[in-house]
């Protein structure tokens, strides 16, 4: 999905917002999760940041207004904000609230190297929506 535009409320396939990206990623893996970042934070199993594994969701800002998908090696894939595109960013590129695991009973991978990133995957701003900048805030 890297390079597809951010559009508020979009759930793919041509564009995404942050939680549309995370919910569709998990839906494509066969697990339905809540649609919004706030509900993902509220309803999914919390995990310590020190125990992150690929597929976990990292939730940002005090009001849980942004979410990204952890891909390993200190990186997340996210749809940051309007005017940006889906991209790869450092996990701490926004103020971290915490992390949740959509599959708490899943078996961790025995080994994991992380994906090969396409050209331009890290281009652009990493800044996601804080509560004061989100549409409707």
CA distance 23 to 18: 9
pTM: 0.92
pLDDT tier at 137 (50, 70, 90 boundaries)? Answer: very low
* Cβ atoms within 10 Å, residue 35: 17
Say which CATH class 18-101 falls into.
Answer: alpha beta
Residues 86-109 pLDDT 10s: 999 999 999 999 999 999 999 888
CA distance 59 to 87: 16
Give yes or no for a contact between 103 and 55, defined as CB atoms under 8 angstroms apart.
yes
């Amino acid at each position: 999905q890297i390079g597809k535009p951010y559009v508020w409320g979009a759930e793919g396939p041509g564009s995404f917002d942050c939680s549309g990206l995370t919910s569709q990623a998990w839906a494509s893996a066969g697990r339905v999760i809540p649609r919004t970042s706030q509900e993902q934070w509220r309803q999914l199993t919390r995990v310590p940041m020190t125990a992150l594994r690929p597929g976990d969701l990292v939730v940002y800002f005090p009001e849980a207004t942004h979410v990204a998908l952890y891909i390993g090696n200190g990186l997340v894939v996210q749809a940051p904000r309007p005017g940006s595109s889906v991209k790869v960013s450092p996990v701490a590129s926004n103020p971290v609230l915490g992390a949740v695991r959509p599959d708490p009973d899943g078996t961790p991978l025995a080994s994991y190297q992380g994906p090969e990133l396409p050209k331009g995957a890290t281009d652009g701003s990493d800044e996601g929506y804080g509560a004061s900048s989100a549409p409707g805030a």
